[in-house]
A and B are shown apart, each in its own frame.
Chain A
Amino acid sequence: MDREALAYGVAEILARHLGPEPSQRVLEAVVADMVLLVEKQEAAPGAGEHRLAVLTVLGHNQKGIVHAFSEVLAEHGADIADINQTIVHGNFAMMMVIDPSGCDVDLAGLKAVLKKRAEPLGVGVFLQYEDMLRAVNRV
């Protein structure tokens, strides 16, 4: 069912329960308002979804590196949405898309604990909202 048909359905239910049958003109106006409301909702940034962040870890490959960072994420309640790893010019690169919405710290706080965890491993950690990636790579 498309957006407009759905709005018609909802409007008809409302009309049936709330009062005398409205004219076609009133019905159309109600539908138009509803479609506008839904569109506005859908267009709002981050509407109906959580703002995702991208965690990138770069450095020498070593045992336990994926574990180290996923452990920190789990401790603080960040959810891993996607995980990917590769070797670039002999260096290890791990990229995670995470959902930090359930986190017990804000993004800056999460970045701080991740950086602390990275220190003994000697790897670099970058954490940012996905906005820049989307702006640069998606049209």
Chain B
Amino acid sequence: MTTAYTQREILETLRMAELEHFDVRTVTMGINLLDCAHDDPREAGRRVYEKLTRHARELPQTVTQIADELGIRVANRRISVSPVSLIATKPEPESYVIIAREIDRAASEMGFDFVGGYSALVHAGFTKAEEALIASIPQALSETKRLCSSVNAGSSRTGLNMDAVLKIASGLKETAYLTRSEGSIGCAKFVVFANAVEDNPFMAGAFHGTGLPEIVIHVGVSGPGVVCQAIKRAGPCDLRELADVVKRAAFKITRVGELIGRSVASRLDLPFGIVDLSLAPTPELGDSVGEVLEAMGLQRTGACGSTAALALLTDAVKKGGAMATSAVGGLSGAFIPVSEDAAMIAAVEEGVLSLEKLEAMTSVCSVGLDMVAVPGDTPAETLAGFIADELMIGVINHKTTAVRVIPAYGKKAGEKVSFGGLLGDAPIQELRTLSCGEFVRRGGLIPAPVTSLRN
């Protein structure tokens, strides 16, 4: 049966795909690596390399082919692997660095830009292996190009592991130093979470959770440009109508994402996992979440009303997406990474978007303080306090929060670090210098909120 499309439908769909920067941000293959365990880390590394190249080799070409047939751009092809700290091997930092190199080698040979999952889940304490992996992160990130790392340091069920936060803060300083020749880029590939999700397809926080199938295809959609243009076309409508406009746009974007995901999964004969319907900006003009907020009526992102506008946006994106697919997952909402978003960078450079305002906004976005750069001489304790603040917003509110912060080595507030490509340029922002050392050095766990007692 031929379904007749109206001229309007055809032209609107074409406009979305061709003119409004719409792309599917990533097709991510999740791969279980737990069966690569071996006492000898070199053997474990060999198994990891072999498994990755065996299963993921076909993915890039398959995605390109399907994207071309359907007339949709797919920006990235990625892999997420089981948290590497769970691959049983000799629990020493060097062991994990060996595995890190093998993952990086596999990714580079197959043409993947990032592989996520150099991760440890330590929200209620460390195993020996997790301690070793966390200690190895600076070296692993400085010796690899495509590896992404994450640590889950808190959850609404268990509270916040301050010992982990302190280790991470010191590790970030070390990573910044080791990658100083490239603007401390190692830190841009590391994220610390509270309430990390198992099926996130986006970097740097992607990992393949232990509850997932052997291999699975996830999709991360994006499309701030599509939402922005829809808002501009809607004109001066009231806020309820505005939410509806966002919902409709999110619905369409999500449908396309699901179509790509299902098509790729079916052609590779793999299960389809989830669509993560996050608005994720890129440094490209017209592909910015800040611009969406400004189209809603803010003079600049960071103005009073920014948190309210972002809350409306995040919620409407979720509602539209939830109507479009039953396979919603990942982080789903809106990302507000500073260095990857032209309007955010402009707002920071004009001095209207402070870290404090950004922190407030993260309480209603889908992730957290993302791609912010702070002075290189920030003490580790202060970084730990900065991270703990953000993670506790997540722990208390039963949501995912995260911090991806770059303490740019040798740089001061007002300067800039450039990473190029998707990671963009980060202006170095002022961070409060008052000490929180005595507080964070107490160590231990901040207890879970009373709302965790739900059974």
B133 to chain A, nearest CB (A): 41
**Does residue B69 face the partner (Cβ distance < 8 Å to A)?**
yes
Q: Which of B1-15 contact A (CB under 8 A)?
A: 1-5, 7, 9-11, 13-14
Number of interface residues of B (CB under 8 A): 25
**Does residue B258 face the partner (Cβ distance < 8 Å to A)?**
yes
Contact with B along A124-136 (1 / 0, CB 8 A): 0011111111111
Interchain CB contact under 8 A, A54 and B10: yes
Residues of A within 8 A of B11 (CB): 56, 88, 93, 95
Q: Which of A100-139 contact B (CB under 8 A)?
A: 107-108, 126-138
Say which residue of B7, B13, B69, B258 sits within 8 Å of A129 (CB atoms). B69
Known pairs A88-B11, A126-B14; A108 contacts B68 (CB<8 A): yes
Say which residue of B1, B13, B18 sits within 8 Å of A133 (CB atoms). B13
Contact with A along B210-251 (1 / 0, CB 8 A): 000000000000000000000000000000000000000000
Interchain CB contact under 8 A, B1 and A131: no
Q: Which of B298-335 contact A (CB under 8 A)?
A: none
Interchain CB contact under 8 A, A136 and B10: no
**Does residue A84 face the partner (Cβ distance < 8 Å to B)?**
yes
Interchain CB contact under 8 A, A137 and B69: no
Say which residue of A56, A81, A136 sits within 8 Å of B255 (CB atoms). A136
**Does residue B252 face the partner (Cβ distance < 8 Å to A)?**
yes
Interchain CB contact under 8 A, B2 and A132: no
- Bound CA span A129–B13, Å: 12
Residues of B within 8 A of A133 (CB): 5, 9-10, 13
A132 to chain B, nearest CB (A): 5
Residue of chain A at shortest CB distance from B2: A81
B195 to chain A, nearest CB (A): 31
**Does residue A73 face the partner (Cβ distance < 8 Å to B)?**
no
Residues of A within 8 A of B16 (CB): 136
**Does residue B292 face the partner (Cβ distance < 8 Å to A)?**
no
Interchain CB contact under 8 A, B7 and A93: yes
Interchain CB contact under 8 A, A54 and B5: yes
**Does residue A75 face the partner (Cβ distance < 8 Å to B)?**
no
Residues of B within 8 A of A138 (CB): 3
A54 to chain B, nearest CB (A): 6
Known pairs A82-B2, A97-B2, A137-B9; A131 contacts B14 (CB<8 A): no
B14, B68, B72, B258: residue with the most chain A Cβ atoms closer than 10 Å: B14
Residue of chain B at shortest CB distance from A128: B71
Interchain CB contact under 8 A, B13 and A132: yes
Interchain CB contact under 8 A, A134 and B3: yes
Residues of B within 8 A of A81 (CB): 2
Residues of B within 8 A of A136 (CB): 9, 13, 16, 252, 255-256
**Does residue B259 face the partner (Cβ distance < 8 Å to A)?**
yes
**Does residue B17 face the partner (Cβ distance < 8 Å to A)?**
yes
- Bound CA span A134–B1, Å: 13
**Does residue B110 face the partner (Cβ distance < 8 Å to A)?**
no
- Bound CA span A126–B69, Å: 11
**Does residue A41 face the partner (Cβ distance < 8 Å to B)?**
no
**Does residue B70 face the partner (Cβ distance < 8 Å to A)?**
yes
Q: Which of B147-182 contact A (CB under 8 A)?
A: none
**Does residue B263 face the partner (Cβ distance < 8 Å to A)?**
yes
- Bound CA span A65–B275, Å: 40
- Bound CA span A4–B68, Å: 41
B148 to chain A, nearest CB (A): 30
Known pairs A56-B10, A107-B69, A108-B68; A132 contacts B5 (CB<8 A): no
Residues of A within 8 A of B10 (CB): 54, 56, 84, 95, 133
- Bound CA span A32–B259, Å: 31
B385 to chain A, nearest CB (A): 46
**Does residue A86 face the partner (Cβ distance < 8 Å to B)?**
yes
Say which residue of B1, B3, B17 sits within 8 Å of A132 (CB atoms). B17
**Does residue A35 face the partner (Cβ distance < 8 Å to B)?**
no
Interchain CB contact under 8 A, B2 and A52: yes
Say which residue of B1, B17, B72 sits within 8 Å of A49 (CB atoms). B1
A98 to chain B, nearest CB (A): 11
- Bound CA span A95–B4, Å: 11
Interchain CB contact under 8 A, A84 and B7: yes
B3, B71, B255: residue with the most chain A Cβ atoms closer than 10 Å: B71
B1, B2, B258: residue with the most chain A Cβ atoms closer than 10 Å: B2
A85 to chain B, nearest CB (A): 8
Contact surface of B with A, Cβ cutoff 8 Å: 1-5, 7, 9-11, 13-14, 16-18, 68-72, 252, 255-256, 258-259, 263
Q: Kindly list the 4 A-B residue pairs having the minimum CB-CB distance in the complex, ordered from nearest.
A: A128-B71, A135-B255, A135-B259, A136-B252
**Can you name 14 A-B pairs with beta carbons within 8 Å?**
A52-B2, A56-B11, A81-B2, A95-B5, A95-B7, A97-B4, A130-B5, A132-B70, A132-B72, A132-B259, A135-B256, A136-B252, A136-B256, A137-B9
Contacts A130-B5, A138-B3 known; 4 new A-B pairs at CB < 8 A: A126-B71, A128-B70, A130-B3, A133-B10
Contact surface of A with B, Cβ cutoff 8 Å: 49, 52, 54, 56, 58, 81-82, 84, 86, 88, 93, 95, 97, 107-108, 126-138
